[in-house]
Amino acid sequence: MNLQADAQLFAPCPRGLEDALAAELAGLGAGAVQAVAGGVAFAGNTRLIYRANLESRIATRVLLRLFSVPYRSEEDIYRAAYDFDWPQRFDVARSIRVYLTAQRCPLKSLDFLTLRIKDAVCDRFRSAVGSRPNVDTRAPDVRIHAFLDATQFTLYLDTSGEPLFKRGARAAAGAAPLKENLAAGILALTGWRPGTALLDPMCGGGTFLVEAAQIALDIAPGSARAFGFEKLKAFDAPLWSGLRAEAEARRKPLAPLPIYGSELYGDTLKLAQANLAAAGLEQAVQLKQANALEISAPAASGVLLTNPPYGERMGEQQELAEFYPKFGDVLKQKFAGWNCYILSADMNLPKLIRLQVSRRTPLFNGALECRLFEYKIVAGSMRSPKPAKA
């Protein structure tokens, strides 16, 4: 995989973050950048593939497109997969796994198709080198992603390996941790910039805080992990170590930052502490145990970004119905001059919080449809009227 010319690439991401990812990849030097539902198609050489893996905060993976062909039958899929020169890409000693995603595929069993693609790769190896790679469903060396639509079969090599939201540093997850790339993408949507105060008053395991501190200190999100491309035959070790060294040289010295987190429960705050410590960032972020209804602003202006608990049970919904209006009061009384962003799957939140929403951005937290609600708080204003009592 040492590509002088540009290869066709695709980076999936959480839905709702496609434009933010397109801008990020363009900033890394990607060509032909095109945001589509669920990800970004782009073009680039080996250097760009390595950089996108090392530096993209928003992509879930970086996939290298191998081919795309029309198909009608299982046999067409087997044949196209067999015809690809797999032994040229990786050694038979590498373990593999095939992943398959289909939309409007007319063929019946996707599990069977996945097996047929795996068989085709193994058969190709057997005929070329006399043995076949092992399958490892848990930690494969090489991941192969197949996409089927109604007529077209597309195959990708995964250059990332483990998904990119696994930064390699999270020590412990809280009750409902956000994926790191979703958190980083949301930070991009808020327009927050290092130097501006950032507060998460319901910080849980501290995902927003870790991502923000890494952005502020210019720490490459992939600097503490390994990648799938290291297992491929054409791995260019000197190019890779050069890129890592360049990223390392840009890293700013550790210092206290205007990034603040608070959390109601001491045990959960310990998780945030552990996650910051695992990323070497505990000195950079200021944490404290506090009720979000009793906080005050740590600076005259800034960005408040939070992901409050989401009530699935009736009792929790009742608690939240009481919590949101009080939290709205706190924002209005204590956060004049701040831009506040609340990520929630609770579509009743805007009605209950009774502040005027200036923007609502649809996002997906996994399969859960959410909104990022934006509230620009100015002194003494913008209370939306109390809903009339039934």
Ligand X SMILES: C[S@@+](CC[C@H](N)C(=O)[O-])C[C@H]1O[C@@H](n2cnc3c(N)ncnc32)[C@H](O)[C@@H]1O
Residues that bind ligand X (CB under 6 A): 174-178, 201-202, 204-205, 207-208, 263-265, 268, 291-293, 307-309
Structure-token pair, residue 236: 């260019």
Structure-token pair, residue 193: 């910039």
Least gap, CB of 171 to ligand X (angstroms): 12
Least gap, CB of 203 to ligand X (angstroms): 6
- When the beta carbons of 16 and 177 are compared against ligand X, the nearer one is 177
Least gap, CB of 346 to ligand X (angstroms): 11
- When the beta carbons of 159 and 268 are compared against ligand X, the nearer one is 268
Least gap, CB of 316 to ligand X (angstroms): 10
Least gap, CB of 305 to ligand X (angstroms): 9
| CA atoms of 100 and 120, how far apart (whole Å) | 14
Tell me the chain's radius of gyration from C-alpha atoms. Answer: 23
- Burial class from Cβ neighbours inside 10 Å (0-12, 13-18, 19+) for residue 171 reads middle
- When the beta carbons of 161 and 350 are compared against ligand X, the nearer one is 350
Q: What is the DSSP letter of 355?
A: B
- When the beta carbons of 44 and 204 are compared against ligand X, the nearer one is 204
Least gap, CB of 115 to ligand X (angstroms): 37
| CA atoms of 45 and 30, how far apart (whole Å) | 9
- When the beta carbons of 46 and 339 are compared against ligand X, the nearer one is 339
Least gap, CB of 47 to ligand X (angstroms): 32
DSSP assignment string, 227-254: -GGGGSTT--HHHHHHHHHHHHHHPPPP
- When the beta carbons of 120 and 212 are compared against ligand X, the nearer one is 212
Assess contact for 89 and 1: CB atoms under 8 A: yes
- When the beta carbons of 182 and 232 are compared against ligand X, the nearer one is 182
- When the beta carbons of 119 and 282 are compared against ligand X, the nearer one is 282
| CA atoms of 283 and 209, how far apart (whole Å) | 12
- When the beta carbons of 64 and 269 are compared against ligand X, the nearer one is 269
Least gap, CB of 289 to ligand X (angstroms): 9
Least gap, CB of 298 to ligand X (angstroms): 15
Q: Which residues of 261-287 are buried (b: 16+ CB within 10 A; e: fewer)?
A: bbbbeeebbbbbbbbbebbebbebbbb
Judged by DSSP in three states, 44 sits in strand
Using Cβ positions, the residue closest to ligand X within the complex turns out to be 204
Among 153, 180, 380, 143, CA closest to 278: 180
DSSP assignment string, 47-112: HHHHHHHHH-SS-S--EEEEEEEE-SSHHHHHHHHHHS-GGGTS-TTS-EEEEEEESS--SS-HHH
